[in-house]
Amino acid sequence: MPYDDWEQDEIRADLTNMYRAGKEVLPQRATRVSGVAERMTDAIASANTRSAQMGDHKVLTDLLWMASDCQAGMAAAVTTINNLALAVVAQADDFRDRDEFARSVFDGLEPELRGPADPLPTAPSTVDQAETTAPGSPEAEANPDVQSPEEEREDRDDLLDAYQNFGGED
């Protein structure tokens, strides 16, 4: 859609919303996403321990692999949101520096929007897939109740034999 002659040199951007997005809304969103990624890390660690205690069945290690991929995506999203926040503020600053009207709008902003932005949340570290999906968790507690499927089957067979041969010959 072409601009009319009177609109061609005019930038139509809402500086207030740009600063609010870059300094408040996007950092808050990044903080929430970071919290989700950290909770995912804790859940993956717990599931990894339980998986090791149950013999690291293939389906569990596949789920752990997928979960660590999702957690890495959430951690990367924090960086992406942070970069977006910085870009929006930088663009708003550029408009303010280049345009007299934008400068007057900036001068009328709330003090927290005119000042420097708060530090952005740090992206959480990603889960180490190689460690998470390797047989056995390095932090798994020994669980004396856990048996391999073969040992469990042998115990069941021995118990069944004992019931079937009760009072009879072995």
How many domains does the chain divide into?
A: 1
Report residue 136's pLDDT band, with 50, 70 and 90 as the boundaries.
Answer: low
Contacts for 143-150: CB closer than 8 Å, 24+ residues apart: 143/53, 146/53, 146/54, 146/55, 148/55, 149/55
Q: If you average pLDDT over every residue of the chain, what do you get?
A: 81
Looking at residue 89, what is its pLDDT? 94
Identify whether 47 is part of a domain: yes
Identify whether 17 is part of a domain: yes
**Which segments of 99-140 does DSSP mark as H helices, in order?**
100-107, 111-114, 129-132
Identify whether 156 is part of a domain: no
**Domain containing residue 76:** 12-139
Q: Answer yes or no: is pLDDT of 28 > 90.
A: yes
pTM of the model: 0.66
Share of the chain above pLDDT 90, in %: 28
pLDDT digits (tens, 9 = 90+) for 35-83: 999 999 988 888 888 888 888 778 888 888 888 889 999 999 999 999 9
Closest C-alpha to 18, from 76, 99, 131, 134: 99
Identify whether 21 is part of a domain: yes
Identify whether 77 is part of a domain: yes
